[in-house]
Chain A
């Protein structure tokens, strides 16, 4: 029973952190170009040209 007192809040904190990370990724436009992100992994680094 005692364990619940900190485990539950801990679980919730993790959840809130995950939610915060999602909001951050949304705000930094990471969902703007999903197709492009998929293709860009095939590109070599820019500095080899």
Chain B
């Protein structure tokens, strides 16, 4: 099918060479009898043809006994016996990038299953009760009426006991902590309605509210289930992305044997092998070997850093060119990564203190409602002296005002908004994230990997002689180094007309080759030019030590970066850059984007301090970042956003994750959040309006179960219809937007972490 062709082409390059058989084995789970199972994330599948290709392709691998695709979660579940089969290689051969993720955290979703069951029970009860109620409303004789009410009570009981739990538990835990939330008035209303209805049935009274109580539960549970499914979908989509932290490492024993150990079992002092293309598993120092490291995820530096014996390594850095032997200096839980996690935990307070709008509304709403009901009761009692009638009317007040519409007012808008963001490639963790997003007045960006793509590109090279460029390109085509890739990408594979012999890549230095008796070198200046070159002069092509051409590189801006920043500024939002990279690189990007406020060479703790200071000054900051060094700030900021290419812990700390390459996701998320905020306010307005009309009728004692049911359903429908008006980020708008994200561009960004950074 046509939809797969583009992806297949984009994904054909080696994306995940780093996943070894050992890692596959480590990620799999033992099913007994030598059968093992592993789940693979295959983000690029999207049609029936993909399902068939993947299932057949995997089933054809020797040893595989079962292969089944789940298209909703973009996963393939594979069982095999015997040796670990080459699953990821097979999928790559089929044109799909695939990767592993943790098994343990992904064992189904018991919460969703419970909510669905609760919804089913409430639906069953309310619908059957409604059938009986219709005949009661149309005037059944007292004997039948009482029988029907008893059956209704029987039907309502499971809904109350089973489905009601969802609300009772949450209400109870809120009350126990001396707070109130939306579930408190819901629980009180439902329980009281049930109680008085049982009493009335016993007395053979004309009215029972079993239908109102159960359909209230049913409507509210619909909202809960939708809300949960949306969040779950976002969570799964995020956890399906590439893991940047290695799962294990090859340990060199003193007797020369090699073991593949999980990261958690590596002790300080162990000697570890880090092959080219692997990430450093724990903090340590280089024992032998020379290479270059991509530190962009760890420090934010966009240029590869050369290392040799004695250099310090931090967990998460990517080894680019040569194999290294390192000595671990810290356990995994004391490594750089863990340090970031600790900083994050300290930082998280700000978000925990934020209280959701619905809860704040409930705090105002429930005392008012409860007081009104109480006053109604006292008033009626004083006037009529009829206890039973007074209680009945007070409960009618509770039910008619009961926050059916209010309970839906917030979640339904958030579900619609989250769905809209999802269509635009943005995942949102929960509803409160959108509320917080709508409040921001400052945006802090990380540079490498956030404002930029974290991918080197050759700077405009008008001065470079075409012949030299062709030589450089044909040398570069043999290497996987980011610099070589950038040269090859600019000048193509090159046809220099030279026949190279003895071509070799020297780790940490560059590429050397002989042709027609001359030695060509492409690499670091101090190596290519010998004594004449100074370090730090960039990449040079030389012939016998004479410079032929010098190349300068830059990290490309993300698509839509300029528009996004301009858009934010137009809305009066302050923008700033917090980067761990060198000052000149940061200044260049800041100038390019017109951001005046920037800080370079910032340590993670300093980033944190900066954002905390902004918060102390009363600013609400959105942090957009991707690196390990951004994770603490992502956790500390009022609200945070990360690209899908971000480091795992950063992605988990962020409230929003955007999957497309374009930075337009930032203003879009802001626009959707703001509009959702407006719709929520409108919904509150509608709910209050409804109460203003319904309340006097209830207080006057005119509310029958029929009126209560009608009013509740009507107000719910109005609120849901209003939520569906959300316009920002609609499909038709997106098509007309500045630069639509192509599937190929998506595949491209995913390929960055393991492949080209």
Q: Does B574 contact A (CB under 8 A)?
A: no
**Which A residues are CB-close (under 8 A) to B47?**
39
What is the CB-to-nearest-CB distance from A31 to chain B, in angstroms, rounded to a whole number?
A: 7
Given A15-B128, A19-B121, A33-B70: A4 touches B51 (CB 8 Å cut-off):
no
Whether B70 contacts A36 by the Cβ 8 Å rule is yes
Whether A26 contacts B128 by the Cβ 8 Å rule is no
**Which A residues are CB-close (under 8 A) to B151?**
8, 12
User: In the bound complex, what is the Cα–Cα distance between A26 and B70 (angstroms)?
Assistant: 16
What is the CB-to-nearest-CB distance from B610 to chain A, in angstroms, rounded to a whole number?
A: 43
What is the CB-to-nearest-CB distance from B117 to chain A, in angstroms, rounded to a whole number?
A: 7
Q: Digitize B42-64: 1 where CB-to-A-CB distance is under 8 Å, 0 elsewhere.
A: 00000110011000100000000
**Which B residues are CB-close (under 8 A) to A22?**
120
Q: Digitize B112-149: 1 where CB-to-A-CB distance is under 8 Å, 0 elsewhere.
A: 01001100110010011001100000000000100100
User: In the bound complex, what is the Cα–Cα distance between A4 and B151 (angstroms)?
Assistant: 12
Closest to A1 in B: B144
Q: Which residue in B48, B124, B128, B144 is a CB contact (below 8 Å) of A40? A: B48
User: In the bound complex, what is the Cα–Cα distance between A41 and B72 (angstroms)?
Assistant: 15
**Which A residues are CB-close (under 8 A) to B131?**
11
Closest to A15 in B: B128
Whether B116 contacts A4 by the Cβ 8 Å rule is no
Q: Which residue in B52, B56, B71, B144 is a CB contact (below 8 Å) of A33? A: B71
Q: Digitize A23-39: 1 where CB-to-B-CB distance is under 8 Å, 0 elsewhere.
A: 10010000111111001
Whether A42 contacts B128 by the Cβ 8 Å rule is no
User: In the bound complex, what is the Cα–Cα distance between A40 and B69 (angstroms)?
Assistant: 10
Whether A40 contacts B51 by the Cβ 8 Å rule is yes
**Which B residues are CB-close (under 8 A) to A49?**
56
Whether A35 contacts B128 by the Cβ 8 Å rule is no
Whether A43 contacts B72 by the Cβ 8 Å rule is no
Main secondary structure of the interface of A (DSSP, over half): helix
User: In the bound complex, what is the Cα–Cα distance between A27 and B69 (angstroms)?
Assistant: 19
What is the CB-to-nearest-CB distance from A41 to chain B, in angstroms, rounded to a whole number?
A: 8
Q: Does A18 contact B (CB under 8 A)?
A: yes
User: In the bound complex, what is the Cα–Cα distance between A32 and B113 (angstroms)?
Assistant: 10
What is the CB-to-nearest-CB distance from A34 to chain B, in angstroms, rounded to a whole number?
A: 6
Whether B124 contacts A15 by the Cβ 8 Å rule is yes
Given A32-B70, A43-B51: A23 touches B144 (CB 8 Å cut-off):
no
User: In the bound complex, what is the Cα–Cα distance between A1 and B147 (angstroms)?
Assistant: 12
**Which B residues are CB-close (under 8 A) to A42?**
48
Whether A34 contacts B72 by the Cβ 8 Å rule is yes
Q: Digitize B88-109: 1 where CB-to-A-CB distance is under 8 Å, 0 elsewhere.
A: 0000000000000000000000
Whether B51 contacts A39 by the Cβ 8 Å rule is yes
What is the CB-to-nearest-CB distance from A23 to chain B, in angstroms, rounded to a whole number?
A: 7
With most chain B CB atoms within 10 A of its CB, the pick from A11, A12, A18 is A12
What is the CB-to-nearest-CB distance from B46 to chain A, in angstroms, rounded to a whole number?
A: 8
Whether A26 contacts B71 by the Cβ 8 Å rule is no
User: In the bound complex, what is the Cα–Cα distance between A34 and B232 (angstroms)?
Assistant: 14
Q: Digitize B19-48: 1 where CB-to-A-CB distance is under 8 Å, 0 elsewhere.
A: 000000000000000000000000000011
User: In the bound complex, what is the Cα–Cα distance between A43 and B155 (angstroms)?
Assistant: 43
**Which A residues are CB-close (under 8 A) to B120?**
19, 22-23, 26
Q: Does B501 contact A (CB under 8 A)?
A: no
Q: Which residue in A32, A33, A43 is a CB contact (below 8 Å) of B48? A: A43
Q: Within residues 581 to 640 of chain B, which ones have a CB less than 8 A from any CB in chain A? A: none
Whether B72 contacts A35 by the Cβ 8 Å rule is yes
Q: Does B334 contact A (CB under 8 A)?
A: no
What is the CB-to-nearest-CB distance from B558 to chain A, in angstroms, rounded to a whole number?
A: 29
User: In the bound complex, what is the Cα–Cα distance between A11 and B51 (angstroms)?
Assistant: 42
Whether A32 contacts B51 by the Cβ 8 Å rule is no
**Which B residues are CB-close (under 8 A) to A15?**
124, 127-128
**Which B residues are CB-close (under 8 A) to A43?**
48, 51-52
Whether A26 contacts B113 by the Cβ 8 Å rule is yes
**Which B residues are CB-close (under 8 A) to A4?**
144, 147
Q: Does B739 contact A (CB under 8 A)?
A: no
Q: Which residue in B71, B117, B127, B147 is a CB contact (below 8 Å) of A36? A: B71
Q: Can you sample 15 A-B contacts with CB below 8 Å?
A: A8-B132, A12-B155, A15-B128, A23-B120, A31-B116, A32-B70, A32-B72, A33-B73, A36-B51, A36-B71, A36-B72, A39-B47, A39-B48, A39-B51, A49-B56
Starting from the known contacts A26-B117, A33-B73, A40-B48, 11 additional A-B residue pairs (CB-CB under 8 Å) come to A18-B124, A19-B120, A22-B120, A23-B117, A31-B116, A36-B51, A36-B69, A39-B51, A42-B48, A43-B52, A49-B56
B binding-site residues for A, Cβ under 8 Å: 47-48, 51-52, 56, 69-73, 113, 116-117, 120-121, 124, 127-128, 131-132, 144, 147, 151, 155
